Structure 1
Amino acid sequence: MKKNYVLLVSALILLLISFTGCNQKNTEDKSLEKIREKGYFVVGLDDNFPPMGFRDKSGEIVGFDIDMAKEAAKRMGVEVKFKPVDWDGVILSLKKKDIDLIWNGLTVTEERKKQISFSKIYLSNRQIIIVNKDSNINSKDDLKGKIIGVQLGSSSEQALNSDKDLIETLKNVRKYSNNTEALLDLKAKRIDAVVIDEIVGRYYIAKRQDEYRILEENIGDESYAVGIKKEDVSFREELDRVLDEMKKDGTAAEISKKWFGEDIVIK
């Protein structure tokens, strides 16, 4: 009798553990359900970050990541809304649930992984150094005693800070709210160089080849992915499924060719 009682108690404990685990999983999986009930998801972005996301002459937010997000939303059967935020506080905006995703050339870093989750990687990138066309700076060694500009809170700032050998030789690091301001200061020779995402930097230089040039040396490789709250597991899984689908059927390639002139999407 005692043996049967012990077995019964053990079975009940196992059933309770199983139920609790399923209940927790169901709670996690409600993120996608909530998005579908709401009928849209909100993308947080820096709206001055061409070609990933920026405002055209009419004031409309356009760009590579904008087109990717719109297509993903359509395939999920929902709408997408874009919310410009202060990039330095974009992760806080996500964690506070002011936005549902960060989709704007977001670099995957170990520090960010501690705070948020990421979709599958869809672009590779490097941190490059841009100088004026007539600058006598030709290598990282030539930056000794110079002033470098970076976007505040960006992966460019993180990459520069991690290059201890370089940063210790600089006169100063000037931080800007966006890359456009940094490049304008570079053109005006108020700073000597700008560290910037290669994809963004080359987009700028393609239109201003007589003003800027890129050094051969860079400050490291990196990857772009969509940022999402850690608890939004089912939403992230659905986003990954849709991104895979867009890559396989060539839609992502078409969007890439529109903005970069070639397919640079990571398969």
Structure 2
Amino acid sequence: MKKLLMGMLTSVLLVGVLAACGTSEKEGSTGNGAGNGEKKVLKMGTSADYPPFEFIETAKSDEIQGFDVDLAKAIGKKLGYEIQVQDIDFNGLVPALENGQVDLVLSGMTPTAERKKTVDFSDTYYTAKHMIVTNKDSKIETPEDLKGKTVGVQLASIQDGLATDFVKKDHINMKIEKRNRIPELVQEMNAGRFDAAIIEDTVAKGYLDDNKELAGHVIESGAEDAGSAIAFQKGSELTEKFNAELKKMQENGELEKLVVKWFGDGETK
């Protein structure tokens, strides 16, 4: 009888342990946003050097914040996803998406024809212009003024391509220098190694506020506006889902509220 009772007790305990293990695995499972438990996680890639889209206020915390982060988390919440943000150099974002390191990219990224070859994009959620940033006494205001100058751009950015077009298509003979992060461009200008940099106007304004010796001039012609969209893996079902929620936010004013919060003018450009 004792052996029978011990055998029954062991069986009950074994079933309980297996059930507990199964529950733990189920609740903790994630990957490509397709967790089997209640908690679904999406990994978002961004280059956190692009205020107010994404940045880190190092004096306060290591948390990545900004317009793109708020937008991703707002849509993620509506769809039942937790958004985990990873800081990656801008030129590494598309490769990170392609190899599955992240599920989506929000980083003020423009959906160019070249990028569309390897990743899918949502509808555009914000549009800005390009700006030439230079020292106030440089007398550089237009692309033509960049002839013979050393001009900085962020590697793999839309401004990188724009500067190349100025050289090849418009025959503006200038030296293009590329850096991974926007602050590096500003540092190079402050050190006198760059004559100018081409940066998105919304982002440039923040650096101009902090660097009173610099001036900015919007490029009015010869360049398409820089539209920002969310990037996904080719064929991802997330593209359609995020587009649907993005459209709702545009219609009900939620997107406008985020614009006001981070850009302050209450108008998308």
CA displacement at 1:111 relative to structure 2: 0.6
Larger Rg: 2
| Cα pair distance change 1:135/1:244, threshold 3 Å | same
Q: Distance in 2 between matches of 1:258 and 1:230?
A: 32
Letter in 2 for 1:225: A
Q: Which position in structure 1 is the counterpart of 2:34? A: 34
| Cα pair distance change 1:258/1:194, threshold 3 Å | same
The 8 Å contact of residues 123 and 264 in structure 1, kept in 2 or not, is answered as no
| Cα pair distance change 1:139/1:235, threshold 3 Å | closer
* Deviation string, structure 1 residues 157-201 (Cα, Å, up to 9, x no partner): 01111222556511x211111011101111221110001112211
* More divergent stretch after superposition (126-135 vs 177-186): 126-135
Q: Which position in structure 2 is the counterpart of 1:53? A: 54
Out of 93, 102, 113, the residue aligned to residue 110 of structure 1 is 113
RMSD between superposed Cα atoms in Å: 2.1
* 1:221 is the counterpart of 2:255: no
SS at match of 1:51: coil
Q: Distance in 2 between matches of 1:108 and 1:35?
A: 29
Letter in 1 for 2:257: E
CA displacement at 1:35 relative to structure 2: 5.9
* Deviation string, structure 1 residues 122-165 (Cα, Å, up to 9, x no partner): 11122221111121223322211110001111111011112225
| Cα pair distance change 1:236/1:32, threshold 3 Å | farther
Which structure shows the higher helix fraction? 1
Letter in 2 for 1:237: E
Q: Which position in structure 2 is the counterpart of 1:263? A: 266
Q: Distance in 2 between matches of 1:249 and 1:53?
A: 24
Q: Distance in 2 between matches of 1:211 and 1:194?
A: 14
Q: How does 1:1-267 map to 2 (within 5 A)?
A: 34=34, 39-56=40-57, 57=59, 58-163=61-166, 164-165=168-169, 168-170=172-174, 172-208=175-211, 210-218=212-220, 219-232=223-236, 234-265=237-268
CA displacement at 1:216 relative to structure 2: 4.5
SS at match of 1:215: strand
**Structure 1: gaps (5+ residues):** 1-30
CA displacement at 1:264 relative to structure 2: 3.4
Q: Distance in 2 between matches of 1:216 and 1:63?
A: 23
SS at match of 1:34: coil
SS at match of 2:137: coil
* More divergent stretch after superposition (213-222 vs 39-48): 213-222
Q: Which position in structure 1 is the counterpart of 2:13? A: none
The 8 Å contact of residues 46 and 105 in structure 2, kept in 1 or not, is answered as yes
Letter in 1 for 2:94: I
Greater relative CO (CA pairs within 8 A, separation 6+): 1
Q: Distance in 1 between matches of 2:205 and 2:47?
A: 18
| Cα pair distance change 1:134/1:119, threshold 3 Å | same
How many corresponding residue pairs?
A: 233
Q: Distance in 1 between matches of 2:68 and 2:99?
A: 22
